[in-house]
Amino acid sequence: MILTTNDVLNIISNISEVIEANKQYLTDLDAAIGDADHGINLDRGFKAVKEKMPQFSDKDIGTILKNVGMVLVSTVGGASGPLYGTFFMRMGNAVSGKSTIDDNEIVAMFEAGLSGIKERGKAQAGDKTMIDAIEPALNELKKSLEDGLKFNEALNIAVNASYNGVEMTKKIAARRGRASYLGDRSIGHQDPGATSAYLMIKTAAEYMDKLQ
């Protein structure tokens, strides 16, 4: 798998469209355990990203991702802006100056993004956050590649792991963010952050699958 700057721009554009299509769904999930604004906030951020994308078209992949992160930090309210902003900026740092990235660099980029979210949010898997969708996907992607699977096969397994992570958030109490104020009353509710992370991972994987 080789991703070019154009591929990365296309993936970000696709993510923007998916977030817009799911903004009410994400907001409804957030209404049950949060501020009822997750989808609206993310949609505002990715709309701002899409407006600025023509300015990114001649940049390297690292610069594109860092710019996406900075736009999200400055336009998405609540905790999601800094967390997703950090995710994209850390991914950008991992591939700084590169106009193409391969399998190993995609994994390293993903790993750097997750590390950034964990440091920024002081959260871990099982806290009922976006990490519950991202970490299982990364772990399964790495394991599948180590087992010798093709990249697209590993991606499909990673997407399933991310979905299972979202489902798992229904069974646990929140330990971070506004939902944590509800304690055990948050059990039974799907985490909106994990859901938006899953949607982004699925969208990126679907694009990459078509390149195989």
DSSP of 159-202, one letter per residue? HHHHHHHHHHGGGS---SSGGGGGGGGGTTS--HHHHHHHHHHH
Is pLDDT of 210 > 80?
A: yes
Instruction: Kindly tell me if the per-residue pLDDT of 199 is higher than 90.
Output: yes
Q: How confident is the model at residue 78 (pLDDT cuts 50, 70, 90)?
A: confident
Interval 120-129: pLDDT, tens: 999 999 999 9
Q: Which two tokens stand for residue 200?
A: 């982004």
Q: What's the mean per-residue pLDDT of the chain?
A: 95
At residue 9, the pLDDT reads 97
